[in-house]
Amino acid sequence: MTKIIISGCSGHMGHVLTQLIEADPDATVVAGIDPVADPACGYPVFASAAECSVPADVIIDFSNFRAVDALLDYAVEKKLPLVLCTTGLSDEQLKKVDEASRQTAILRSANMSLGINLLMKLLKEAAARLAPVGYDMEIVEKHHNRKLDAPSGTAIALGESMNEALDNEYHFVFDRSQRHEKRDPKEIGISSVRGGSIVGEHEVIFAGQDEVITFSHSAYSRSIFGKGAVEAAKFLAGKPAGKYDMSDLFSM
């Protein structure tokens, strides 16, 4: 039974995680960390990481970038593995993540979805086989009309996985509106759509001569990220210090 602390337990993803873990026979929530205590949580909630004194096997963090520094200090002090899902970290914080991973296990990924991470693995093989024989590569991502950034971090991560398989010889093109030239064969195009309540859709196109191969992933709710985080937590518990990502779950 994996004992989990949820950082950011009173937020939307915190509630999703609580429900997912309650339904998981191999995991349990022993405490939460959040400045806003939600009595509906059903477990002790501490206002800060420093106040948390409940023994656990691993932490899952879906909080806020402002809380990450203190959480890293806590994880290092307690030698607790940490699944770090909070986004928007500064370069300085990313360096702190690297430093902390020398003393405890930390898993961080651009996207916690199991499906997206399997897709990244498949795209590496596809890119390595298809790009050298002339297939053009394009990514189209779609999200709701409230999303502020474009392209999505997931779209970039998909592109980077493809480029990695090609010795990083390719470059990204995000906008062709000012380009009046033939497509560069060494580019990976990324296009963004924003509208309605689309949770997240990513389509990767390999366009060759007389045929097109398409990989696609659709997210219908944010619970897929919670499910991935729970699986990551069960994987990470008991692991030695180091940096991990979701691809490590597929190499078991």
Rounded to whole angstroms, the Cα distance separating 213 from 211 reads 7
Cβ(2)–Cβ(28) under 8 Å? yes
Exposure b/e, 130-155, CB count within 10 A at least 16 = b:
bbeeebbbbbbbbbeeeeeeebbebb
Q: What are the binding residues for NAD(+)?
A: 8-13, 34, 85-87, 109-112
User: Which strands form 45-46's sheet, in the order they lie side by side?
Assistant: 45-46, 27-33, 2-7, 58-61, 82-84, 105-108, 242-244
43 token code pair = 């477990």
Select which of 143, 202, 217, 234 is catalytic. Answer: 143
Look up 147 and say whether it is catalytic: yes
What's the residue count for the chain? 252
Select which of 3, 96, 124, 147 is catalytic. Answer: 147
Please identify every residue annotated as catalytic: 143, 147
